[in-house]
Each structure stands twice: as C-alpha cells, then as structure tokens.
Structure 1
C-alpha cells in the first residue's frame, strides 16, 4: 500500500518536533562569603643555623706517657674540677722528693746564717747568697709539682663527656685526645643573614628554631650577638642566638631552621581560597547583593592560610571565600540559607 508523500513528510516532522527537549536552566552556584577583616602579619627572616655547645673543650695528653686511670663513664656527667684521667707520675714524684729535700736543707742553712748574722758572725753577702739558694730550691720543687699537676687531667667546667677512646695502661703521645667535655645546658646557634636584612635584627630579638630530629617541637631563644664584621665574599653577617636546652635534646653540630620575626603590622586579610590568580595578577569576587564583581587586588605575604591585602578592597566589604572556581564577572550566586531559585519549565 502506498502513502502519499505529503502525508509521510508531515508525520516525520511531527515526530521530530515531539522528540526535542528544551535546555535546562543553569543552577545558580552556591558559594560562601565573608567580610574583609584585618589581622596581624609578621615579616619573618628564614635561615639555616648550626648548633654549638655553650662550652666545649677537647682534653688532651700534655706529655707522652702512660695512662694510669680513667675516671669517667661514656657520655657521663662530670663536675668542674673533677679528675678525668691521670698519667704516670713515678719519676716526677721521685724528683719532687729530691727537690723538697734540697729546699728544706737550703731553708735550714738560711736560718743558721740569719742567726749568725744577728750576732755579727756572718756577712750580709753570705746571707744574700744563701737566700738565693733557698729561693732556687723552692722554685725547683714548685716546678716539679706543676709537672705532676699537668699529668692529672681535670674538667675545666661541668658538662657531659664524649665516648671513651683510650684505656688505662695505654701509652699516649702529647696532644692525644682523651675526652671531650661539652656544656649543653644551653646551645649557641650560629647562622648568617644577608647584609641587606641587617636592619631587621637586633640583639635581644626573639627567634624560633626547628630541628629535623624534632620537627614538631619549636625551640625559642634570643639573639645574643651580631658579628661586627660582614664577610666581604658572601656579603653576609654571622649572628649568634642562645637556646635553652634543659633536656639536652639539641646536640652540638645539628642543623636547625631559624625563623626571626622582624616586623609586625595590621593589614587586611582574606583566606587563600578567596584569591584567584591570573598570570601575575590577583583577583577576588566582591559580593554586591546576589551578584559578584571581579576586583583586582594587591597582595602581600601569606601566613597561616591568610593572604595580606595591600590594596583594592576596604574593611567590611563582603568577598566570596569558597566556590570562586564556578564564578565569572557579574554572575548571580546564592549563599547558604538562601531558597533555591525556581526553575522554569519549557513550554509544551
């Protein structure tokens, strides 16, 4: 059975028209907004520092001789003046006995001549000669005592000693290290800064240091000294800070990240998510009613999730803080709590 062509064409057109769907309207984006407020921003100077002991000395053998005793434990604490080690003193003790005997004899002879001189039986020259002999004998004995004292090695200050590397009975030569004593009750932290930042630091200024060994624990201290001489090769100046170290967690030789708070100021601030980057420029979406306006802003430093606003906005203005990626200039938005816009239905 054949259908007339006009009838077929009409049916197809009606079928096609009935299958088309009207485009759905775009949903109004939901955003969050907040007023522009001010907060404190702090300029910080970052550097890398090396930890040094408050006091540290390497105790070495003054002469070549045999070690007779070691009086410290590995890593132990020693008091000021405590004997660390002793070297053999047998020959020196014998020499001291002989020197003391000569000094005693010279002293007794001097007393006899003094007695004779008061009675007129000794000349002044003989008295002077014997006095010189007595002084020489006493000086000789003192010299031997000093030699014996040099063979007794003592801690010059209280601190913690290093691991022991020598044993009693060993023959050591002059200059051989016996122990290292370190006072780590506080730490000297040395770091360098460029000469261009010299005006931003001063003695007594607070610093904060972080060690890789204790990343979650900041150490607070103060700048003690600024080197008066700038290194002409690096154009940097050396700074020394002092950090309390009562629990001895900081060790000499550690590298620490140093942060120095140099200047504080009050500035306008916005959350980082509110800032839109476009090349070198920065923008925000200013809320005006329920429409947004794209506004260029000048930004400063970032700190604790906030961005310093140097220009382009005023305190109290409301800015979109979340949802900026969905926005264009002049777009309509809705906030939490707004009723959703009624969607229009396509005509039938």
Structure 2
C-alpha cells in the first residue's frame, strides 16, 4: 500500500513539473475544461499552442546585426631567392686563382675564379700579329692606289681587305677564349659553399658556386580549390617562420597557376616576400596566411540557432510572440555564427532560451525585466 502511494505521488509531481514548464496538453485541458465548466462559472484564459497565453517565457533578446566575416587561409610553403644563379665553368682547365668565400657578398662582375690562360694569351698574340700584318697590307695597297699606280688590281685589293676582316675576327675569338678563363659573378648577391680550390681541374659545365640575392624571396605554396577566390595578383600575404617567432613578414602574390592539380585539387601560387635585412634564407619553410573580408552577413550567437526537421533556424520576436525563421549557416567563429536569412536586420532574436520555445509562444526579455526590477 505504501509503495502504491509513493508511485502515485511521483506521477503527480512529474505531471505538475511538465505543466509548469510546457503547459497543459490541449487534450487534457479540453477534458479538464469540460469537467470544470459544470462546477465553475468564471471564464478560463484561452490557451495558445503548448505555451499558454497567460504565462510568458523569459528569454534573452538581442538585435539582429550584420557584419563582415574575415576569411583566413593558412598554408605552408617554401622560398627561393628571387634572383639566383648557379655559376658554371665555361671552359675546361686548371684553377689557378679563386675568391670563393662562403656567405661573402659579391657585386656583379667580381672575379670568382681564374683558369690557366697561357695558351689563350699566346693565341691572342698570334691573332693580333696576323691582324697587324693584314692591316699593313691594306694600308700599302691603299697608298699605291691613291698615287695612281696600277700595280694593285681591284681583285688584289679586295682580297687584302677580306684578309684583314678575317684577322680581326680571329682576334675577337682569341679575346673571348681568354675572357672565358676568368669566371666572374653574373649577379650581385651572397656566395654559397663551393668545393673548388686552386689546383683543381674543371670541365666545361661544372658547377662552381651558387649566388643568391636574398633581398627578395619567391615563396611557392598551394591553395586548395575552396579558397581560389582569394587569389589575385598583388594581394598581400603574411609570412612567419619558427626561426623568428612572433615576427611577421609581408609579401604579395605575383603569379598563380591557371589550372588545378588533378590529384591535390589545388593551385600553385608564387608570392614575392620583402627581405631587405637578409634575415630569411632561401629554402626556409614558411607559414603563410591570407585574409579577405566578405560582404556583410547577419551574425547571431551560436545559442540562438535551433534545429528541426527543416534545418537550422532562429526565433524572432514580433509583438511579444516568437516566429521561427530558417537560416543557412555560412561561417562560425567562436560563439558567433554568420548566416543567410530572410529575417530583417534590427529584428529582436532570441539569443538564450531558444530551445524551449514553440511557434507563437509569448516571451519576455530577461534584460528588460532586470531593468524594471532595478
């Protein structure tokens, strides 16, 4: 008997709590109203939905505002010097002089290495002597012809002039061959490591040293398909590296691929990074960030979003009652959600307490109540 009493008492308490939170179900209220009509003549307040017209739900309201959302793309890339070259030997020979000091700054035209050039110097002397002889012959023929002598025929004079031109060309070839024995810096920059030393013999095309002009770096990175809209020439990028924690280097996009990689579904992008102090080195790995603000979109607290079979929505308040409006979620950041919706800007939306509402429910603003109590 005692157990039955506690069971009935528990059911009564649960039913009472349900009625306080959600109102009396319509079927019960109708039955209850029909039975009490016979015993009570006082009119009862009408019920609206499941909330009850006479009792308002306390919620927190906030106006619907629109703000731009900042799209942020983070990716990883590596960089090379914007101006760089690998110096190679243009001829074969023995190294007789070097100025290859790693990390040394050189200017364009500075001598880096000399090869044994004795043979080339002798060849140049022979070519110069032949040129001088050809020049003397032409000069003599010109003097005879100017004096009216018929000894020098037109054919002989033409042959002498051709011989002079050939001799001058041979001198030019000999000078080029001699110049090739001296290797100079093709650009200004910083020397890399080199294993070439005096006494070594190099062949044509052998690598001598690298030169990097690191005042500007060219970073290469991949951008996924979903972020292609962020790309444009001249767009700013922000670069960081663990080597200089907390420091941001700026650059701008100079080029990007016209098609996506069929495997990674991304586009290759190149950006020029200013490096006037030479802190960044070619080959470093960088964290790269790009940002862009979208058009203004309605933004709501995450607690304002509710879900049902139709999808996401928010509750807006009109004349003290709520109406659910569907929304499409575009972006999230922290406790803020950017959405697309037909709800008018400035409308009061339920920021807290939305989960316990029903269509047409009467609500009061908790903030307004606090103000009146104060």
Verify same fold: TM over 0.5.
yes
Relative distance call for 1:148 and 1:310 in structure 2 (3 A) is same
Give the alignment partner of residue 329 of structure 1, picking from 337, 340, 356.
356
Greater share of residues in strand: 1
- What is the aligned partner in structure 2 of residue 346 from structure 1? none
Provide the rounded CA distance (Å) in 1 between the counterparts of 2:279 and 2:305: 41
Provide the rounded CA distance (Å) in 1 between the counterparts of 2:303 and 2:247: 28
Give the alignment partner of residue 115 of structure 1, picking from 139, 143, 148.
143
TM-fit CA distance, 1:240: 2.2
Structure 2 segments unaligned to the other structure (5+ residues): 1-58, 358-362
Relative distance call for 1:334 and 1:188 in structure 2 (3 A) is same
Provide the rounded CA distance (Å) in 1 between the counterparts of 2:312 and 2:250: 35
Provide the rounded CA distance (Å) in 2 between the counterparts of 1:279 and 1:129: 102
Give the alignment partner of residue 40 of structure 1, picking from 65, 68, 74.
68
| DSSP-derived class of the 1:217 partner | coil
Q: Contact 2:306–2:355 (CA<8 Å) still a contact in 1?
A: no
TM-fit CA distance, 1:147: 0.7
Q: Contact 2:61–2:365 (CA<8 Å) still a contact in 1?
A: no
Relative distance call for 1:52 and 1:34 in structure 2 (3 A) is farther
Give the alignment partner of residue 108 of structure 2, picking from 80, 93, 96.
80
Relative distance call for 1:328 and 1:235 in structure 2 (3 A) is closer
Provide the rounded CA distance (Å) in 1 between the counterparts of 2:197 and 2:261: 44
| DSSP-derived class of the 1:302 partner | strand
- What is the aligned partner in structure 2 of residue 96 from structure 1? 124
Pair 1:300 & 2:336 matched: no
Greater share of residues in helix: 2
- What is the aligned partner in structure 1 of residue 51 from structure 2? none
Relative distance call for 1:273 and 1:218 in structure 2 (3 A) is farther
Q: Which is further off, 137-146 or 161-170?
A: 161-170
- What is the aligned partner in structure 2 of residue 6 from structure 1? none
Relative distance call for 1:196 and 1:34 in structure 2 (3 A) is closer
Provide the rounded CA distance (Å) in 2 between the counterparts of 1:145 and 1:136: 14
Pair 1:240 & 2:267 matched: no
Q: Please give the per-residue CA displacement for 1:183-216, whole angstroms capped at 9, x wherever unaligned.
A: 2211222334456755542222222333343453
Q: Cα RMSD (Å) of the superposition?
A: 4.1
Provide the rounded CA distance (Å) in 2 between the counterparts of 1:187 and 1:306: 38
| DSSP-derived class of the 1:95 partner | helix
Q: Contact 1:293–1:329 (CA<8 Å) still a contact in 2?
A: no
Q: Contact 1:230–1:236 (CA<8 Å) still a contact in 2?
A: yes
TM-fit CA distance, 1:114: 1.4
TM-fit CA distance, 1:306: 4.2
- What is the aligned partner in structure 2 of residue 224 from structure 1? 254
Provide the rounded CA distance (Å) in 1 between the counterparts of 2:305 and 2:225: 34
Provide the rounded CA distance (Å) in 2 between the counterparts of 1:220 and 1:273: 38
Q: Contact 2:97–2:114 (CA<8 Å) still a contact in 1?
A: yes
Provide the rounded CA distance (Å) in 2 between the counterparts of 1:272 and 1:154: 66
Tell me the number of residue pairs that the alignment of Structure 1 and Structure 2 aligns: 308
Q: Please give the per-residue CA displacement for 1:29-51, whole angstroms capped at 9, x wherever unaligned.
A: xx998765433213344444331
Q: Contact 2:69–2:296 (CA<8 Å) still a contact in 1?
A: yes
Give the alignment partner of residue 132 of structure 1, picking from 137, 159, 162.
162
Relative distance call for 1:94 and 1:318 in structure 2 (3 A) is same
- What is the aligned partner in structure 2 of residue 213 from structure 1? 243
Provide the rounded CA distance (Å) in 2 between the counterparts of 1:180 and 1:72: 10
Written as runs of structure 1 = structure 2, the 5 A alignment for 1:1-348 is 37-119=65-147, 120=149, 121-193=151-223, 198=228, 200-228=230-258, 236-262=266-292, 264-270=294-300, 298-303=328-333, 306-311=336-341, 317=348, 329=356
Q: Contact 2:68–2:293 (CA<8 Å) still a contact in 1?
A: no
Relative distance call for 1:274 and 1:149 in structure 2 (3 A) is farther
TM-fit CA distance, 1:144: 1.1
Relative distance call for 1:212 and 1:287 in structure 2 (3 A) is farther
Structure 1 segments unaligned to the other structure (5+ residues): 1-30, 342-348
